[in-house]
């Protein structure tokens, strides 16, 4: 029952391809609502005509219902929904109200014109009925607008809460892994442990001073990843090496904070660390005037199952979820195998204008 009611209710801001179906749903809504609404808006003194000529009453009610439903949906509901979707007036409710009122006025004129064509004349009672319908259309449109905004705000709040939870999983994971690396070096190499503590302090300062939803220069993300690699170099020695992009290549590019380091950590932990001979982490950037691709490539002996790469709770999954929740399809993260025995994490993003 609820599913049927949702289908009958005309959608807001449909695409041009879906517009005919949306208008047809407005017609269906008018057909279904016609008979009960005909009794609501007709004076009780006229109800006897229903028993005298039920077919005529029903046909007249259908005509009224369809004309009013389609007229006010097209003239009032659609403009407001498209306006809200464009976000040009998201902070100006007064503009939305004005559009709803103007649309209702246009719907009133259209409805009266269609009634005149279908009936040949428009009575004062019919005019009052159309005006009441226009007022209800404005009230309903604004009520639904407020409800949709509340739902949108709730969705944003839920996304932020999930984003913070994912970030809370990433930071402790990195922090404790690094502390374990430092602890292993305290006795055999105290100088290296001291240097690693200094690098960890720099990284912690960056991590705590940036919001994961903020966009930062890619140069800063590379410096953060480099500090991490320097820490891991103390553990792996010459088994770990890396290649970074030239400074001029990344000039002017930006990325959400704390995005690159989890990819580099994944390349070290699940690539280089598992190979006796180690390997090289290659961070590369390819760019055009409007977009760029950042890749982190590591050698690997055995290709993992693709489903294991993005297991919930792991660094790659957390990072991809953060990007999806905050930026949608504007920034994407996937894993590819461009060469044999290599695995590449690839981020595709737009160049900020």
pLDDT in tens, 138-195: 887 777 777 767 776 666 666 665 555 555 554 566 677 778 878 888 888 888 888 8
> Over the stretch 115-135, which tens digit does the pLDDT of each residue have?
777 766 677 777 777 787 788
Compare 58 and 341 and report the one with higher pLDDT. 341
Average pLDDT of every residue of the chain: 79
Where are the strands (E) in the chain, listed by range?
A: 215-217, 240-243, 254-256, 279-287, 291-299, 332-336, 342-350
- The pLDDT > 70 percentage for the chain reads 81
Identify the CA nearest to 84 among candidates 72, 73, 69, 100.
100
Q: Is the dihedral of CA 219, 222, 228, 233 positive or negative?
A: negative
What is the rounded average pLDDT of the residues 238-255? 93
| pLDDT confidence of residue 124 | 76
Residue 206 pLDDT exceeds 60 = yes
**pLDDT band for position 241 (cuts 50, 70, 90):** very high
- Beta-bridged to residue 294, according to DSSP, are 285, 347
Q: Is residue 2 pLDDT above 50, yes or no?
A: no
Greatest mean pLDDT among 26-40, 44-58, 278-292: 278-292
Tens-digit pLDDT profile for residues 67-90: 888 888 888 887 887 777 665 544
pLDDT for the residue numbered 95: 76
In the predicted model, is pLDDT for residue 341 greater than 60?
Answer: yes
Q: What pLDDT sits at residue 195? A: 87
Q: Kindly state the average pLDDT of the residues 252-261.
A: 89
Pick the more confident residue, 92 or 184: 184
Q: What CATH number labels 186-350?
A: 3.30.565.10
pLDDT at 287: 93
More confident site: 148 or 237: 237
For the chain, domain boundaries:
2-155, 186-350
pLDDT computed for residue 313 by the predictor: 67
Residue pair 319/257 in contact by the 8 Å Cβ criterion: no
The confidence band for 240, taking pLDDT boundaries of 50, 70 and 90, is very high
Which DSSP string corresponds to 269-318? HHTGGGSTT-EEEEEEEEE-SSEEEEEEEEE-SSPPPHHHHT-TTSHHHH
The rounded distance, in Å, linking the Cα atoms of 201 and 203 is 5
- pLDDT > 80? residue 35: no
Cα-based distances in Å from 288 to 1, 291, 308, 348, 352: 52, 5, 32, 12, 12
Task: Give the pLDDT score at 296.
Answer: 96
Q: What is the pLDDT of residue 222?
A: 95
Q: What are the CA-CA distances from residue 109 to residues 29, 33, 99, 102, 320 (Å)?
A: 21, 21, 15, 11, 51
Phi-psi region of 313 (alpha: psi -120 to 50; beta: other; left: phi over 0): left
Q: Which residue carries 């029952």 as its tokens? A: 1
How many Å apart are CA 232 and CA 261, to the nearest integer? Answer: 12
With cut-offs at 50, 70 and 90, classify the pLDDT of residue 100: confident
CA distance 297 to 337: 9
Rounded to the nearest 5 degrees, what angle is found at the Cα of 350, between the Cα atoms of 323 and 222?
70
Model confidence at 346: pLDDT above 90 = yes
* Residue 269 pLDDT level (bands cut at 50, 70, 90): confident
pLDDT-based confidence at residue 43 (cuts at 50, 70, 90)? low
């Amino acid at each position: 029952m609820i599913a049927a009611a949702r289908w009958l209710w005309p959608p807001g801001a449909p695409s041009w391809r879906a517009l005919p179906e949306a208008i047809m749903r407005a017609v269906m809504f008018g057909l279904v609502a016609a008979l009960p609404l005909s009794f609501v808006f007709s004076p009780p003194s006229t109800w006897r005509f229903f028993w005298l000529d039920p077919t005529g009453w029903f046909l007249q009610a259908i005509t009224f219902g369809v004309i009013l439903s389609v007229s006010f949906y097209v003239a009032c509901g659609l403009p407001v929904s498209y306006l809200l979707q464009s976000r040009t007036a998201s902070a100006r409710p007064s503009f939305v109200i004005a559009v709803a009122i103007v649309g209702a006025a246009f719907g009133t004129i259209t409805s009266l014109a269609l009634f005149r064509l279908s009936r040949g004349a428009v009575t004062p009672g019919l005019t009052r009925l159309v005006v009441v319908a226009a007022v209800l259309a404005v009230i309903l449109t604004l009520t639904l607008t407020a409800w949709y905004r509340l739902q949108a705000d709730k969705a944003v709040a839920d996304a932020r809460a999930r984003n913070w939870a994912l970030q809370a999983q990433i930071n402790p994971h990195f922090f404790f892994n690094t502390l374990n690396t430092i602890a292993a070096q305290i006795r055999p190499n105290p100088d290296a442990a001291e240097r690693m503590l200094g690098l960890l302090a720099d990284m912690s300062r960056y991590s705590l001073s940036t919001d994961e939803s903020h966009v930062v220069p890619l140069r800063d993300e590379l410096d953060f990843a480099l500090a991490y690699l320097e820490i891991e170099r103390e553990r792996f020695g010459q088994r770990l090496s890396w290649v970074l992009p030239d400074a001029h290549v990344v000039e002017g590019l930006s990325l959400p904070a704390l995005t690159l380091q989890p990819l580099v950590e994944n390349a070290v932990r699940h690539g280089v660390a598992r190979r006796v001979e180690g390997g090289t982490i290659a961070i590369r950037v390819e760019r055009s005037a409007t977009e760029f691709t950042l890749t982190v490539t590591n050698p690997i002996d055995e290709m993992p199952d693709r489903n294991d790469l993005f297991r919930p709770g792991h660094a790659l999954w957390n990072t991809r979820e953060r990007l999806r929740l905050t930026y949608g399809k504007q920034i994407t993260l996937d894993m590819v195998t461009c060469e044999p025995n290599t695995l590449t994490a690839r981020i595709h993003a737009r160049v900020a204008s």
